[in-house]
Amino acid sequence: MHNKTIKELSALLHSKQVSATELARHYLGRIDASGHNAFLHVDHELTLAQAAAADARFAQGTAGPLTGVPIAHKDIFVTRGWRTTAGSKMLDGYVSPFDATVVDRFNAAGMVTLGKVNLDEFAMGSANENSAYGAVKNPWDAAAVPGGSSGGSAAAIAARLAPAATATDTGGSIRQPAAFCGVTGIKPTYGRVSRFGMIAFASSLDQGGPIAQTAEDCALLLNEMIGFDERDSTSLTVEQGNVREDYTRDLNKPLAGLRIGVPSEYFGEGLASDVEGAVRAALEQFVKLGAVLVDISLPKTALSIPTYYIIAPAEASSNLSRFDGVRYGHRAAEYKDLQDMYRKTRAEGFGSEVKRRIMVGTYVLCHGYYDAYYVQAQKIRRLIADDFQAAFADKCDVIMGPVAPTVAWDLGSKTNDPVANYLADIFTLSTSLAGLPGMSIPCGFGDGKEGSEANGKRPVGLQIIGNYFAEAKLLNIAHQYQQATDWHKRTPEGV
């Protein structure tokens, strides 16, 4: 049951072969028995109440394609009735009085919430080791990180603790954990998924998206996730009137003539041989499907790391100033005055990585440094976006390459080296800075040992990047690859 896709589960529910309540109980049992630390909050009563409501919709004949299908929510989306911590002590025990737009849309579709899943604190990290509630273990190898910040979402799908999960991507936080855990994830064009009720990290970069087993599953989830929201000032729409986009519409289009751009910067020094072998094999599979490989250059790729780590911390320092112990969240137990309360509350509530980024962000926004750092970073951000547009204008239809330079590393191996963690995002940051859609699909395995072949037990992800609003095209390309390969069907030992 738990190895079935969303589409397969929907068919079982609609044919009355299983009820929403039975399905929810099945997954709750798996979650309770799991040792991955993927879930932060599970409430059987709340879940089963939603499942009963879904069963009532089936009885009334009002069920939709996702009704009764279980889903896990990244603990960055506020959820009425459930705790929402953002992986931080600062929000320990916080229960929101309202739902995020993403959660509300899935509730309206009749999906059943299984619980809230773990993440790097305030979505800041690449390994899910920055959570105040402990690291998530990669289901493929308990000694490995699951990636971050959406490590709980990716691990939950890989371990088949849920068939669907919400996630967010600021600099790669959907794509990288999806790659490390051997599952499928997509970051839509910036502005396509409402950020209302999504606890902000870097507002010009944050974007929600789904993680699931297959591209087809992600298409079904995007059908509900995407849509204009007047409560989000950055929300975009390309639909006319009340017509909703159907992201499954192009899944079965052939790939003959597809021009795939292969950036030289993605295959140079620093790329592990096991990752390169798996990615190049995937590219050859696309050639067999009728695509053409085109050599391209994205010369500003190396600048994406310093650019991102100026812009994102600057926005974080502003967004996280609201966590002061006055209105909600953690407050220091003892303090002399208001200033002392602020200082002690934030010192106690924030973890080391969050403090590091707040301090960096505050520094680059200070008078005398704003023009030298923040303004210059924004200018480079435009140049990075221009690189992509030059490639899409006359060279290629999509761009492909690795998601990360290596497979998942060992838990604890980079804990004291934040720069090494930052460098792991070299292939995903530029896409986020440009606001482009990108996704990760499983394409092989490696063992993390230099010089090894792609035959280990740690997954490798292939990154597919498209132009603005090209989500349907990316999903079509990914779906066609998944019809010709079985990497997405493989599961960790014991699952």
Q: How far apart are CA 115 and CA 134, in angstroms?
A: 17
First to last CA, the chain: 11
Helix, strand, coil tally for the chain in percent (to 5) = 40, 15, 45
Q: How far apart are CA 281 and CA 286, in angstroms?
A: 9
| Strand 259-263 versus strand 292-296 pairing type | parallel
From residue 428, give the alpha-carbon distance in Å to each of 89, 261, 333. Answer: 28, 15, 41
Q: How far apart are CA 231 and CA 290, in angstroms?
A: 43
Report DSSP letters for 216-275, one per residue.
Answer: HHHHHHHHHHB---TT-TT------TTPPP-TTTTTT---TT-EEEEEGGGGSTT--HHH
Q: How far apart are CA 472 and CA 227, in angstroms?
A: 14
From residue 425, give the alpha-carbon distance in Å to each of 51, 158, 253, 305, 431. Answer: 38, 21, 31, 8, 11
Q: Which of 10, 96, 149, 432 is catalytic?
A: 149
Task: Please check whether residue 492 is in contact with residue 158, taking contact to mean a CB–CB distance below 8 angstroms.
Answer: yes
Task: Please check whether residue 397 is in contact with residue 465, taking contact to mean a CB–CB distance below 8 angstroms.
Answer: no
Q: Retrieve residue 3's tokens.
A: 């190895």
Q: Which of 10, 74, 131, 430 is catalytic?
A: 74
Annotation marks residue 173 as catalytic: yes
Report DSSP letters for 314-335, one per residue.
Answer: HHHHHHGGG-SSSSSS---S--
- HSE, CB side, 13 Å, CA atoms: give it for residue 237: 13
Annotation marks residue 235 as catalytic: no
Q: What angle do CA 46, 52, 57 make, to 5 degrees?
A: 130
Return the exposure string of 315-347: e unless at least 16 CB atoms fall within 10 Å of the residue's CB, then b: bbbbbbeebbbeeebbbbeeeeeeeebbbbbbe
The size of the chain, in residues, is: 495
From residue 167, give the alpha-carbon distance in Å to each of 59, 172, 194, 208. Answer: 31, 11, 12, 6
Q: Which of 173, 304, 317, 440 is catalytic?
A: 173
Q: Please choose, from the candidates 422, 425, 451, the residue with its C-alpha nearest in 3D space to the C-alpha of residue 440.
A: 425
DSSP 121: G
Residues marked active site are found at 74, 149, 173
